[in-house]
A and B are shown apart, each in its own frame.
Chain A
Amino acid sequence: MRGKIGFFRWFIGFFLLFLYAPAMLLPIFAFNASSIVSFPLTGFTTEWFLVLFTNETLHLAARNSLLIAITTAIFSTLLAVLAARASTRFSFFGRRSIMGFVMLPMVLPEIIIGVSLLVVIIQMGFELSLWSITMGHILICTPFCIAILSSAFMNLDKSLEEASFDLGQTRWNTFWLVIFPLVMPGIVASLLIAFTISLDEFIIAFFLAGTEPTLPVYIWGQLRFPAKLPSLMALGTVLLLVSIGLLLIADYFRRRGIRKTGIENTGGFL
């Protein structure tokens, strides 16, 4: 019995170490004074962060990424609201299989999606641009948004809608006065998740990028130059903090939504 518990303690310890130690190296080397990424550490500096402020190409890539991430978040959430609403409230022919196909990109290898989108876009004679990346991102983000929003819509008691209608309100106003405020936390969570996924997505962006790279594509390009490595560490640190921050905010809204509708909290990422 004791031996077993000991084993699991070690197992969990190593598991967490392997999971987080590499990410922890990012901030460590981001503040290291040496331009060579290796131990021992030589001293503390914020130089690498300052480099980020003056790099024009980086700014352009960051701007591209933000543009794509915001557009993706809005469109994926919009599509997901419609899909989640339809699949939870109405029953129609082939609902299960349609939802299955909609959710499929979640498990499809991104490289397959990337390659096939590239072939289709080239064949149709379109230019590769930020738009092509955005469309690819919407495709892979929408299933995640649907998963989040489906549970938000499912938790909604149908009689709330009926009550609103019964009390003399129109269907349109019922949506804005009752349904929307109650699924709002789900919508916020969905926006943030889609934003986060799109922001650091590499494979599709790599395949579909024209002349304008996104942030992850830019980072990948810079890896060829060892001298740039410490500033990439600094950039990675910033991205890590932004991602964790967004996930925390998303989960906060999810929990608040659950509290509002008065349902026991089950699961969630944090």
Chain B
Amino acid sequence: MTLPIIRLSGLDKFYGEFQALSQINLDIKTGEFFSLLGPSGCGKTTLLRAIAGFETLSSGSLQIDGLSMEGVPANKRPTNMVFQSYAIFPHMSVAENVAYGLKARKLPKVEIKARVAEAIDMVGLQGFDERASHALSGGQRQRVALARALVLKPRVLLLDEPLSALDKKLREQMQSELRRLQRAVGITFVLVTHDQEEALTMSDRIAVMFDGKIAQVASPQILYGKPSTRKVAAFIGMMNFLDAKVLAASGDNVEVEVQSLGKLTLSLEQATGGLNGCDSVGVRPEMLTILTGSQTSEREIEAEVTEVSYYGDMTYYDVKFPSKEDPITVTMRNTAGREVLEVGAKARVGWSTSSLLLLK
């Protein structure tokens, strides 16, 4: 319906011989919480910095709000950034930090004061206005950085691994708070992270990047449920892989020969990245069940437990399938009465053909 707020087309970035970004084509929708996810060195931060105006493009175009950003410096772009180190000005108080961008715009003093107070309220730092910024905790610095950027009402807020410096508890709290804040202000957020869990819980859509290329752009559910390649599947959550060979395809059905599981008929939809070049079958650990007593499943396979990791609410089993070297991981919820198996025990593993993905 509306134009994308950010449109990247054919974007390349070289550092000398090294290609940091290659042929990035991406539309980010107005008002969405978008994440750039990938391992370190995949180019996600470079891409974010290119949007902010800190990196010049080698080729391709970048449009923000329908306007080409070519030759537009960072201080003239409708974007603001929350830096990984927060970059809070250490010689200024909280209020002075938040007012910094407003002062640069030469707004009237009364308006600056009102907007600063509003922004400080919004991030929950009431009463900290005059606090020196070096006397703040990590979480508080993060909030100052957010307030300082959001007070300018940018079209896009760019966040460079904003939570990586926080401890686990605080990180989880800030995740939901960031999400709440994003819904409240309605500004497009573009987040860079290497933490797949963080990306899944916070984002409307995620772009997974490897080696300077975008591998898949999708919602968290689709990314997890229907990853388009084996690499994406392995990066997002856990995934077991079995060698597979496509025997025949007719209409909606695909005939495959799968290691340990034998000859199967899958639907074409299960080849999420297309049928070409598919050589493995993936299945999520929670899609497998260890059957007890008289329980039955659509399909069953005999396996041996080789490793047990007990997590309280869950148990992670490594089991060995016949004719497969590497173990297969099965996660089981520890519901009432369920017995935790021991290493060496024989297990019946239940599975279904519909939970398999055909991947390349």
Contact = CB atoms under 8 A, between A and B. Distances in A.
Interface of A: 157, 159-160, 162-170, 173, 177-178, 181-182, 259-262
A181 B89 CA distance: 10
Nearest to B158: A166
A159 B83 contact: yes
A157 B87 contact: yes
B134 interface: yes
Nearest to A262: B134
Contacts of A259: 134
Given A159-B84, A162-B74, A163-B83, A168 B101 contact: yes
B80 interface: yes
The residue in B73, B87, B100 that gathers the most chain A C-beta atoms within 10 A of its C-beta is B87
Contacts of B80: 166-167
Contacts of A169: 75, 100-101, 104
Which 9 A-B residue pairings sit nearest by Cβ, starting from the closest?
Answer: A167-B101, A163-B87, A159-B87, A168-B104, A169-B104, A159-B83, A166-B81, A181-B91, A168-B75
Contacts of A262: 90, 134
B100 A164 contact: yes
B168 interface: no
Given A160-B90, A167-B152, A259-B134, 13 more contacts: A157-B87, A160-B89, A163-B87, A164-B100, A165-B75, A166-B53, A166-B54, A167-B75, A167-B100, A168-B75, A168-B104, A182-B90, A261-B90
Contacts of B105: 168
A177 B103 CA distance: 11
A166 B156 CA distance: 12
B85 interface: yes
A3 B93 CA distance: 55
A167 B76 CA distance: 9
18 contacts: A157-B87, A159-B85, A160-B89, A162-B87, A163-B81, A163-B83, A163-B87, A166-B54, A166-B74, A166-B80, A167-B75, A167-B148, A168-B104, A168-B152, A169-B100, A177-B100, A259-B134, A260-B91
Contacts of B84: 159
Nearest to B85: A159
A182 B133 CA distance: 13
A164 B101 CA distance: 8
B6 interface: no
B134 A173 contact: no
B349 interface: no
B52 interface: yes
A148 B24 CA distance: 44
A166 B91 contact: no
Given A166-B52, A166-B80, A168-B105, A160 B75 contact: no
Contacts of B73: 165
Nearest to B76: A168
A262 B141 CA distance: 13
A168 B106 CA distance: 11
A165 B79 CA distance: 11
A4 B5 CA distance: 74
Contacts of B76: 168
A68 B104 CA distance: 40
A165 B100 contact: no
Interface in B30-86: 52-54, 73-76, 79-81, 83-85
Contacts of A166: 52-54, 74-75, 79-81
A167 B149 CA distance: 7
